[in-house]
Structure 1
């Protein structure tokens, strides 16, 4: 009995030393936590924000895409400006053509009025012989050809003259033939002026569309050149106070946690 008791008493100091060592380790750990509580704190919101934010590589790729897009829009705007200038020049040319066609028509109308006044006077008397009729026909053909080469008559009108159809009579007096020819020239120049006016209006509408497209592309190019990457919104609201956090996510009452897309951001087109 004395031997067993002696054995137990000899082990007590060793056990006490072990327990004291364990208590010392626990005390040191607790003291470290109390002095610097943030070292072992688990900030779930910060970790999620860091995971959701684009990396440096993604931001660099996004910047390259923005620069490339800005360059492409600038080139498109420059080409659109060139096209708009060309369309405007074409419109001005069409406008000049309308003015020239109108002046030619007015001159032809003046000739018709002058000859109509002369027609009211008695016509000179000429012998009605085959030679006279042949001369009248040659006069009509020469006058029609001269008007055609001056681009006052169309091909169809010239064909009618030589075919003696649609009212063309080579037996008429030269004064009457000249008046009929001047009326045909006037009608042809009026139709040409109307066609030139239609072309001018179409050119004006095309120039307006080209100018509007150029302005839109210039505005978009300016916006793309001066755009800045948008800041990604925080996934979690900032938590006020200095209280300790647990490993659970903080609850947000009345709101859902917004999501943030990773990768290249879309650039809005204006």
Structure 2
């Protein structure tokens, strides 16, 4: 027993010194934590943030993606703008077609009123002979063919004239035949005007949709450019970018006239 104690006791002072050193280090660490918690938190938070931030390679790849997207949107915006211009030109052409169709209809209506007044007067008497009927038939066919070549009669109407159906009677007096012919011309031009109005309405809707799409893509292109600029300005300051003033929306033509009114949009 004495031999065991004699071998252990000389190491006790050394062990005590080691424990004292460890306790001192622990006390100093605890004191530092208590005295400077903000510094420790900032250090830890900074390391975490730095570890979470993307690397330079990732930042470069993100910038390339933003540049590619901005360029694609810019190209799409330019194409949409060109499409909107074409649609607007088509709408203006449709407006001109409506105006021309209305003018032709008004002229035909004036002719019908003039011939109606003439037909109300006593008609000159002519001999009702086969030769007279042949002359009346030739007059009707020639007048209808001339109107067809002037694009005042449709193919269906011309076929009815030569087939003597749907009210076409070559035995009538030439004044009556001319009145019936001009009424048919008026009706055909009225239908043509209604068709032109429908086409103008569709062209206006297409122009409005194309203009809205162009405005949307243009705004998205500027937004993409702004996002790129914000990223670049963090390194190199850049001048302020300004958007152009918004364009006024198109307005449909007011073509409501006479017998073929245009519904309000």
TM-score interval (norm. to shorter): 0.7 to 0.9
Indicate the structure with greater helix content.
2
Cross-structure match for 1:215 = 215
Cross-structure match for 1:245 = none
Task: Give 1:75-94 correspondences, 5 Å limit.
Answer: 75-94=75-94
State the aligned residue count: 218
Shift of 1:213: 0.8
Give, in whole Å, the separation in 2 of the partners of 1:188 and 1:116.
Answer: 18
Cross-structure match for 2:247 = none
Report the 3-state secondary structure (helix = DSSP H, G, I; strand = E; otherwise coil) of the residue aligned with 1:125: coil
Give, in whole Å, the separation in 2 of the partners of 1:166 and 1:173.
Answer: 17
Cross-structure match for 1:55 = 55
Give, in whole Å, the separation in 1 of the partners of 2:58 and 2:153.
Answer: 71
Shift of 1:219: 0.8
Question: Does residue 193 of structure 1 match 2:203?
Answer: no
Question: Does residue 112 of structure 1 match 2:112?
Answer: yes
Task: Give 1:56-75 correspondences, 5 Å limit.
Answer: 56-75=56-75
Q: Segments of 4+ in structure 1 off by > 6 A?
A: none
Unaligned segments of structure 1, at least 5 residues: 1-7, 230-270
Shift of 1:44: 3.7
Cross-structure match for 1:163 = 163
Give, in whole Å, the separation in 2 of the partners of 1:109 and 1:192.
Answer: 14
Give, in whole Å, the separation in 2 of the partners of 1:49 and 1:156.
Answer: 82
Report the 3-state secondary structure (helix = DSSP H, G, I; strand = E; otherwise coil) of the residue aligned with 1:153: coil
Question: Does residue 132 of structure 1 match 2:132?
Answer: yes
Give, in whole Å, the separation in 2 of the partners of 1:73 and 1:201.
Answer: 30
Cross-structure match for 1:172 = 172
Shift of 1:201: 0.7
Shift of 1:22: 7.6
Unaligned segments of structure 2, at least 5 residues: 1-5, 232-265
- C-alpha deviations, 1:25-74, integer Å up to 9, x for none? 98xx89x989x999xx7944333222221111111111111111111111
Give, in whole Å, the separation in 1 of the partners of 2:54 and 2:94.
Answer: 56
Task: Give 1:186-265 correspondences, 5 Å limit.
Answer: 186-227=186-227, 228-229=230-231
Question: Does residue 45 of structure 1 match 2:45?
Answer: yes
Cross-structure match for 2:244 = none
Cross-structure match for 1:250 = none
Larger radius of gyration: 1
